[in-house]
Structure 1
Amino acid sequence: MLSFHFSLHSHFYPDHDDTMACTVSFTTEKHYELPRRLEYINGIVTHPSLGKLAIATVKCLKITGRMWFKTNRDFLEIMDEESHELNEFSVALFDEGSNLRTFIIDGGPRSGSGCWGMELGVGDMLYVDDLEVKEEFRHQGVGSLILRKLLTDERIGYRGHAYVWPTPNSSVDSEAAWLARRDTIIAFYRKNGFRRIGFTSFFAYSPDPSHPSRQLTASAEPDPPSKAFETTTTGPALTQDEDRAEYPLHFAIAADKTPLVVQTLRTAYEADHASIRQRHPRTGLLPIHVAAASENVLAIQALLALYAPEPDVDRAALQGDLKDRNNKNGLTPLEILDATMTSRREIMETLVGRWDGYEEAGVRCEYALKRALGERLFSFALGDANMVTEDEYVEKRKWGCTCGMCTDGWLSPRMRLRLSAQAGIQYDMLKTDMDAFTSPHRPVSYLEIIHSTFDYIPPAIRKEIYESFYVGVYTIFYAICQVLETPSTTLSTSTSASPSTSDSVQGPPSSTAPMSMPTPNANATLPTPQTILSKALELDAGAVSFYLSKGGKVEFTLDAVLDMAREQSVLGDGTFEETFDVEEGGGGDILRDDGYTHLPKCANDLRFGGVRQHVGVAGGRDEMEDEDEDEEDEEDEEEDGEDEDEHDF
């Protein structure tokens, strides 16, 4: 958070020529825990006539190694550990993998000027945490001087962007004074090329002079919806008791989730029909907005019922209120509800490490609002996919499904295909590469196996690899593929032979054969370790049993499939999408004629962590790599010592 602090100690007032004589220097210090990802940068402006006395300072955090965040999905967690402000910054703009939130770039009502795009999802980040110019040296270009030096320095990094939250953090006498000071700070950053990201409170700077943000004049940048609800009065704000007395329904809905709230709303409506549509002047929120934000399902149901008595009049009013964005958040009731549910999920995933699904009340609120709006409940309309009861909707949506076709509510058709393809590819590669084995009775070293799938097996277990052990591993890959391609709970092995070392083995899709497409089926088989093991034993009981006797587990292979599938998704290098996510018709892509693009899209398509949670597989290799990273970080710290590098400009 940017702040301007005040100092009364000065005996010298430089003019513009004196400012040009100032010296700007920066020091850098690697983060004590994550030296390869985070680095502190401090800048100072000094004047030759003042010696070492600083007339301006800046404090920043450089965030590098973006792929580490995308791989480990720990961006929100690490930013939360750094500071409350960085937590606010990360949650407002990015997901746990540091990917930019969709609403900023989708061209919708929350995208603001639309000058920012996917470029913010890559490259280094330079967060300006604090810029202090002593009061007696302001308005003479000192702040702009140190900021320009910072932004043009190599520290901003490759494809990097600078970020700031321009808001005061010092106390003021009134809200009007606070707003005036904030606007002054915003004007300073706009003057130096920063532009607002969507309608959030955060601004960014692009070093590319041709970037759309650099072509957007400060006067052309739209204000966020909250601007219309800011007060310029100098008097005291209403106390909470005064506010509650004037807007009782807003407070009742937020505080009371019992059946009593229904009677409260009915009583107010009978006294004044307009009461259920009263807008709070400071927030712009209607009672229906408050009910959505509070996930108060009884209040939502009661409010929707109260719009119904006069269909010709109240139907139009209801639709208008359900689509109303005339509030400080610029969100409709359904959008506020979605933001609330998403925020709670991210908090649980980030801080607790486990998300147990959406709360039932929130999902029931969503069902009621979607029905009232006439929206489709799910994105995929197959038969009666969108003709579900409220209880059925709650069951399907609990784990985040938006397509209506996720098996058990969490395994989407596209995720199923992604994992099936990866398991099939690994099986095909392993089965065709048996050159290391010259005898079934002579084990080979792990170093002689060139396949990275064995990295997911603990070192003590993979120390000596017999041919039967090797066959057991790829048989489990084949079993995973078979289970994922099974459209119902009944497994069949009639269409393929069991894997073995013979040349007659028929496996899942190879690089030269088209892959079968999983049919969207919410009741399809789940890839649990138990189901996969049962299938693997059917395919080759001898090899699989030998693998198990040496300490092998199905979970090791599942870990490999999940990790590799994630690495090849858009969360990694994107090679899966380049290969499979193509339009049908023409060409020779292995999935081009099988309708992959016709599979329903779903919010669960990239939730690999959710799949791990449901099948009970932790990230084994990830944990080993984290240990390696820690060891390398310790070595880096020893080499760097405690000294800081200083650079003068």
Structure 2
Amino acid sequence: MSSFRLNDCTVQITTKCDQEYQYPHVFTDIFVNASLPGLGSIASMQAVKIHRPARGSHSFHAVMDYRSQELYEFSRHMFDRKGHLSLSLLHYGAERGTGGWGKELNSGEIIHVTNVSVDEQLIEHLMLNKRTSLRAGPCSLVLTSSARSASADLAAQNFLDILAKSCHPSCLIAVSADATDSAEEQRRHLADHPLHSAIVDIEGPEIAEIIKTHYRNDSSSIRGKDGAGMTPIHRALGIANICATLTLLGLGITPDDLRNADNPEGVTPLECLERFMESDPDFSYTMLRHTNGHTEDQLTYEFLVKGVLGMPLITQNRGLY
């Protein structure tokens, strides 16, 4: 492999259009094989090209779910049910990551790479080249007309994205400055904060006693910050944990606590709830094929929090709200 030259490679690309009757022409399977004279196959790749459903036809999440669990998870992490980049990745603090990606991902075909296999000797050869940087991970490619490409992790998600556009802002992001995975980051922030961690992990009635126990041991615990600068009420409203929310309000959470935006993301607890309510209808639409808006619990949270803050309400009756 010492005399390896890229120009010696022969690349074979084959495609197969998925004619599945329910979603015809949405998926095209791509198979790529690279070989060298005398060595045979040295690398291969499998991917699926996704043509986003026309506006108003099908939920993007439902279409992805029909194909595979992997594509469903990918679509839920990255896009809304219209196939547009999730608002949280565009606007919201840590989830936005480096902020190198934007609405250009709302259109165009997507190539989702499912498998890459490279000959072990070839990898060793490439690693000897000081100019080579190797990266791997679940990856999507948004196609454009330019020949050169830019790549970076998309926001704080475990997906490597490549855009065929050399002037894209992601080109300016150094590998060392790229965003980390948001789920892993949250686990790190919660690691040394058992109350915050419990609120995120436990949504049943037992969370009420856990919060009260922490409060009895240290009354300031209900206002303590975790590694991300979030208080317990931020965490409770951020996942719409009603038992935790009601318990915290009952223990003396004040309007000032609900207006607290003293954290790196600059968000208040109410804004955490609003984020959750914006994203949740997409999940309802995917699983039930329709959405009736926000759930009763979500609207109850909103009613209670706005009431504590003294914000105007369309009615003072919680049931009617």
Which TM-score applies when normalising by structure 1? 0.41
Correspondence 1:207 to 2:164: yes
The answer for the alignment partner of 2:222 in structure 1 is 276
Q: Distance in 2 between matches of 1:15 and 1:336?
A: 55
Contact 1:247/1:280 (<8 A) preserved: no
The answer for the alignment partner of 2:31 in structure 1 is 42
Give SS of 1:391's match.
coil
The answer for the alignment partner of 2:64 in structure 1 is 79
1:589-600 to structure 2, matched below 5 A, reads: none
When residues 83 and 340 of structure 1 are mapped into structure 2, their CA distance, relative to the original with a 3 A threshold, is: farther
- Structure 2 gaps, min length 5: 136-140
Correspondence 1:291 to 2:227: no
Q: 1:352 Cα deviation (Å)?
A: 2.1
When residues 343 and 83 of structure 1 are mapped into structure 2, their CA distance, relative to the original with a 3 A threshold, is: farther
1:181-260 to structure 2, matched below 5 A, reads: 193-223=150-180, 247=194, 250-251=197-198, 254-255=201-202, 257-258=204-205
Contact 1:161/1:206 (<8 A) preserved: no
Per residue, is there more helix in 1 or in 2?
Answer: 1
Q: Distance in 1 between matches of 2:107 and 2:44?
A: 28
Q: 2:245 aligns with which of 277, 300, 308?
A: 300
1:51-107 C-alpha deviation (Å, 9 max, x unpaired): 3xx22211111112x4x3323133111111222221122122222221223333348
Q: Distance in 2 between matches of 1:280 and 1:220?
A: 23
Give SS of 1:103's match.
helix
Q: Distance in 2 between matches of 1:228 and 1:351?
A: 28
Q: Distance in 2 between matches of 1:135 and 1:331?
A: 47
1:492-540 C-alpha deviation (Å, 9 max, x unpaired): xxxxxxxxxxxxxxxxxxxxxxxxxxxxxxxxxxxxxxxxxxxxxxxxx
Give SS of 1:46's match.
strand
1:371-409 C-alpha deviation (Å, 9 max, x unpaired): 5567x5xxxxxxxxx3444535x645xxxxxxxxxxxxx
The answer for the alignment partner of 1:69 in structure 2 is 54
Q: Distance in 2 between matches of 1:256 and 1:18?
A: 57
Q: 1:43 Cα deviation (Å)?
A: 0.9
1:440-488 C-alpha deviation (Å, 9 max, x unpaired): xxxxxxxxxxxxxxxxxxxxxxxxxxxxxxxxxxxxxxxxxxxxxxxxx
When residues 388 and 298 of structure 1 are mapped into structure 2, their CA distance, relative to the original with a 3 A threshold, is: farther
Alignment: residue pair count:
308
Q: Distance in 1 between matches of 2:201 and 2:186?
A: 20
When residues 84 and 207 of structure 1 are mapped into structure 2, their CA distance, relative to the original with a 3 A threshold, is: same
The answer for the alignment partner of 1:60 in structure 2 is 47
Q: 1:367 Cα deviation (Å)?
A: 2.9
The answer for the alignment partner of 1:180 in structure 2 is none
Correspondence 1:96 to 2:96: no
Q: Distance in 2 between matches of 1:247 and 1:341?
A: 25
When residues 21 and 198 of structure 1 are mapped into structure 2, their CA distance, relative to the original with a 3 A threshold, is: same
- What is the alpha-carbon root mean square deviation over aligned residues? 4.1
The answer for the alignment partner of 1:637 in structure 2 is none
When residues 42 and 210 of structure 1 are mapped into structure 2, their CA distance, relative to the original with a 3 A threshold, is: same
Contact 1:249/1:265 (<8 A) preserved: no
Q: Distance in 1 between matches of 2:208 and 2:89?
A: 37
The answer for the alignment partner of 1:446 in structure 2 is none
Give SS of 1:40's match.
strand
When residues 228 and 99 of structure 1 are mapped into structure 2, their CA distance, relative to the original with a 3 A threshold, is: closer
The answer for the alignment partner of 1:25 in structure 2 is 12
The answer for the alignment partner of 2:108 in structure 1 is 123
Q: Distance in 2 between matches of 1:141 and 1:121?
A: 35
Q: 1:251 Cα deviation (Å)?
A: 3.4
Q: Distance in 2 between matches of 1:323 and 1:395?
A: 33
Contact 2:85/2:103 (<8 A) preserved: yes
Q: Could you tell me the percent identity over the aligned residues? A: 26
Contact 1:41/1:62 (<8 A) preserved: yes
Per residue, is there more strand in 1 or in 2?
Answer: 2
Q: Distance in 2 between matches of 1:332 and 1:197?
A: 25
When residues 286 and 161 of structure 1 are mapped into structure 2, their CA distance, relative to the original with a 3 A threshold, is: farther
